[in-house]
Amino acid sequence: MHGETVDWQALIRDVPDFPKPGIVFKDITPMLADGPAFSAAISEMAALVGPDVDAVVGIESRGFIFGAALAQKLGLGLVTVRKPGKLPADIHSVEYELEYGVDRLEIHRDALSHGHRVVIVDDLLATGGTANATVELVQKLGAEVDCCLFAIELAFLNGRASLDGVEVKSLLRCD
């Protein structure tokens, strides 16, 4: 895949009615299973990251996959944002709205500090609730968000709008 343009859409499987009727799930496992394509995805994502980034913040759980590979490629550390009860030390947490209820995310209080610049990484941007909550957690620690980076952006759900003031980048934009 060196020098070739990758057809990301061909590597994302649509699964209708998952996890519930009416939802079309964007399954990234074919991209992950294709070594050259996954490597190309990480290389392309790395090229989208600014030069002054200090850390990668991966959102549970598929954001860990992209975040860990991206952090390794950039020579940076990985900070994890987790669901409640998963982190062992002192945490900051934030609740956020889902289309079907409320959820919460957590980050270690000592994971970042004032002046750190981060890129937030996840597999998918839908309505933006999870990414927005992660931005809030990062900012609670005094760090700055360089950008939010996604493998897939479901543009028709307008999640970008909820991340007002934060640059959003993605490999594949589904309109």
Catalytic option among 60, 62, 117, 136: 62
Strand, helix or coil for residue 49? coil
Active-site residue, 99 included = yes
Tokens of 160: 């970008």
Catalytic residue, chosen from 4, 44, 95, 99, is: 99
Alpha helices in the chain (DSSP H): 29-33, 35-47, 62-74, 129-140, 159-162
CA distance 59 to 161: 19
Which residues are CB-neighbours of 100 under 8 A, at least 6 positions away? none
Query: What are the angstrom distances between the C-alpha of 71 and each of 22, 94, 109, 150?
Result: 35, 24, 20, 14
Q: Are strands 24-27 and 55-59 parallel, antiparallel or unpaired?
A: unpaired
Q: Is 117 annotated as catalytic? A: no
Task: Catalogue the active-site residues.
Answer: 62, 99
